[in-house]
């Protein structure tokens, strides 16, 4: 087991212990939310989404930095201070003074860097593309985490249905025990058969305990994604499985792939970063042209023949020995990697669509088979076995077999509903549909 998995298990265990410590809140009225409400809470409170928004703000700050103009530099000098003398004709506490008619020389110098060859514009354009890529990253985070939220929601709903089925199964065994207690007392059934019913009831109690533990675990998983809303320890999912859109579900694989290539934000981010890498490459090439620093000065020196002087000039680097070869080569490598990542992303999208569509079609077929024939037959067989046992037409083992089959098939049906819902959520994520 990896360290992140171990930390996650420990954290979930701590949350479950916290639930147990707040028994009054847990046993209160449950907070029932549907999928839409869960998504709303997710957008408002999920910490990963909040962190992703900070990345957008950081990108906006980098745009400001890229657009900033160099500040001018000012130097000031005061010279010929040695002309200062101490007037000893007065008290020793007298301050320093200048001789009559003597003043110090001073100079002011101003420098301003001029960015050449449009490098500032390229930096601005590159930074803007970087911020746009971060916005696509945020949308991709919403896509991935939204799918995780849907999985957690349907896992909770499945856990609820499993707990309900386990409790109904236990109640049914208790009912059978109560009905057969009188028959045992009058000797109508063997004590061995009654004991078998008691054993099945104990197994049913164990199933109830296990299902409740799983229910608490899935509650904790969903609450983690929702940012742990206050007073929501006993959160429950509304009994509403995924609604399959006929328009989306009826599209061919090629149509789904084309749609995904148009809408997936991770691919859009990759394309944007290619454009940014092209700007960075052009910037690296233009770095060969050095920037120019203009400067001017004004000096006043009363001790010279020309008391007022001034001048202007410039300075720049001469690219004689190094011409940014390393920066240009690095930018070329980054561009090639960004272009290759687009191809990898496109291949990954095609694979995602193919796998998720196949999984959804299989899950849809299994669920439809249950709903068209299996459910009605298993319910009818269970009822028939109960009536036959009450009338003495069948034995106790046939009744238990019917109960086992009913519980197993209903559990498989709930699993099929959950699999279909999560498979649909995976297909929606693969095609890049927006989470609402």
**Local confidence pLDDT in tens for the 436 residues of the chain:** 444 444 344 444 444 444 443 443 444 577 888 888 888 888 887 778 888 888 888 888 888 888 888 899 999 888 765 544 444 444 555 555 555 455 678 889 999 999 998 899 999 999 999 999 999 999 998 899 889 999 999 999 999 999 999 999 888 888 877 877 777 777 777 777 778 888 888 888 899 999 999 999 998 888 888 877 666 667 888 888 876 654 555 678 888 888 889 999 999 999 999 999 999 999 999 999 999 999 998 988 776 777 788 889 999 988 888 888 999 999 999 999 999 999 999 999 999 999 998 999 899 889 888 888 888 888 888 888 878 877 777 777 777 888 888 888 999 999 999 999 999 999 989 988 776 5
* Measured distance CA(178)–CA(170) in Å, rounded: 12
Q: How far is CA 374 from CA 21, 43, 138, 351, 409, in A?
A: 43, 39, 44, 33, 8
Number of neighbours of residue 333 by Cβ within 10 angstroms: 12
CB 317 within 8 A of CB 136: no
Closest Cα partner for 418 from 197, 289, 241? 241
Taking only Cα atoms into account, the Rg of the chain, rounded to an integer number of angstroms, comes to 39
The Cα–Cα gap between 9 and 70 comes to 52
Four-residue CA torsion sign, 359, 2, 153, 215: positive
Number of CB atoms found within 10 A of residue 248's CB: 15
Compute the distance between CA of residue 424 and CA of residue 396 in angstroms, rounded to an integer: 42
Q: Which helix (H) or strand (E) holds 78?
A: strand 73-79
The token pair at 358 is 């196949």
């Amino acid at each position: 087991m990896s360290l992140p998995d171990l930390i996650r298990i420990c954290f979930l265990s701590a949350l479950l212990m916290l639930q147990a410590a707040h028994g009054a809140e847990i046993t209160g009225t449950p907070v029932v939310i549907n999928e839409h409400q869960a998504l709303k809470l997710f957008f408002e409170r999920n910490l990963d989404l909040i962190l992703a928004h900070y990345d957008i703000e950081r990108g906006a700050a980098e745009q400001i930095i890229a657009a900033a103009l160099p500040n001018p530099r000012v130097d000031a000098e005061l010279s010929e201070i040695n002309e200062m003398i101490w007037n000893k004709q007065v008290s020793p506490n007298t301050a320093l003074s200048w001789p009559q008619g003597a003043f110090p020389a001073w100079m002011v110098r101003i420098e301003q860097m001029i960015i050449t060859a449009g490098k500032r514009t390229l930096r601005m354009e590159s930074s803007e593309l970087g911020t746009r890529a971060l916005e696509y990253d945020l949308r991709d985070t919403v896509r991935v985490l939204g799918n995780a939220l849907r999985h957690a929601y349907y896992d909770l709903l499945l856990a609820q249905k499993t707990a309900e089925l386990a409790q109904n199964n236990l109640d049914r065994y208790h009912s059978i025990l109560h009905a057969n207690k009188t028959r045992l007392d009058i000797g109508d059934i063997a004590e061995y058969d009654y004991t078998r019913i008691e054993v099945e009831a104990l197994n049913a109690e164990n199933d109830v305990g296990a299902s409740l533990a799983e229910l608490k675990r899935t509650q904790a998983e969903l609450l983690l994604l929702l940012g742990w809303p206050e007073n929501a320890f006993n959160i429950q999912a509304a009994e509403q499985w995924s609604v399959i859109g006929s328009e989306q579900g009826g599209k061919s694989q090629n149509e789904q792939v084309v749609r995904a290539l148009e809408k997936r934000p991770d691919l859009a981010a990759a394309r944007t970063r290619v454009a940014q890498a092209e700007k960075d490459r052009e910037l690296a090439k233009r770095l060969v042209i050095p920037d120019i620093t203009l400067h001017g000065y004004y000096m006043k020196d009363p001790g010279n023949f020309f008391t007022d002087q001034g001048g202007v000039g410039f300075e720049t680097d001469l690219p004689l020995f190094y011409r940014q070869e390393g920066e240009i080569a690095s930018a070329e490598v980054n561009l090639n990697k960004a272009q290759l990542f687009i191809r990898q992303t496109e291949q990954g999208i095609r694979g995602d669509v193919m796998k998720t569509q196949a999984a959804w079609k299989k899950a849809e077929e299994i669920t439809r088979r249950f709903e068209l024939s299996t459910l009605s037959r298993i319910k009818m067989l269970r009822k028939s076995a109960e009536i036959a046992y009450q009338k003495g037409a069948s034995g106790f083992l046939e009744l238990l077999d019917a109960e086992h089959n009913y519980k197993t098939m209903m559990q498989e049906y709930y699993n099929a509903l959950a699999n279909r819902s999560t498979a649909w959520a995976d297909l929606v994520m693969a095609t890049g549909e927006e989470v609402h």
